[in-house]
């Protein structure tokens, strides 16, 4: 089993996900969104499973700084914006084959690992 984790090291939920899988000796591939943004195609995979709105962190500081609370953007435009501004994403984004989670989803990760 291998999981891919998208996030930033400053995020406590991202650190929690990394720790969760490390404690279970599950191989992880970490993508630091501050060093390398997620591709629009990768974000689209998450959006197809979870919906674009589930990816947006409306409580983030960056969301407020950009004044997006009144924004009415199409899903495609949101995906483009999320690719440009990774701090707008709810973190972490975790993928294991064709299974996806966003945010702290420890109960789901436990199901995946059987532990």
Domains of the chain plus CATH, in order, are 2-113 (3.40.30.10)
Ordered alpha helix ranges (H), 3-87: 12-23, 40-50, 52-55, 61-65, 75-84
How far lies 14's CA from each of 66, 68, 80, 82, 103, in Å? 23, 24, 22, 17, 8
- At which residue do the structure tokens 């969760």 appear? 20
**pLDDT tens-place values along the chain, 115 residues long:** 899 999 999 999 999 999 999 999 999 999 999 999 888 889 999 999 999 999 999 999 999 999 988 888 899 999 999 999 999 999 999 999 999 999 999 999 999 998 6
SS3 call for 56: strand
| 0.85 exceeded by pTM | yes
Dig out the tokens for 98 from the structure: 């064709």
Residue 101: burial class (beta carbons within 10 Å; 0-12, 13-18, 19+): buried
pLDDT of residue 84: 92
């Amino acid at each position: 089993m291998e999981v891919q984790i998208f996030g930033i090291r400053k995020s406590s939920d991202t650190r929690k996900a990394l720790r969760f899988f490390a404690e279970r000796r599950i191989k992880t591939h970490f993508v630091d969104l501050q060093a390398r943004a997620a591709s629009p195609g990768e974000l689209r995979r998450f959006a197809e499973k979870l919906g674009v709105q589930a990816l947006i962190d409306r409580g983030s500081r960056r969301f407020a700084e950009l004044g997006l609370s009144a924004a009415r953007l199409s899903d495609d435009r949101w995906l483009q914006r999320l690719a440009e501004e990774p701090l707008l994403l709810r973190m972490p984004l975790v993928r294991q084959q064709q299974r996806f989670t966003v945010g702290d989803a420890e109960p789901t990760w436990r199901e995946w690992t059987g532990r």
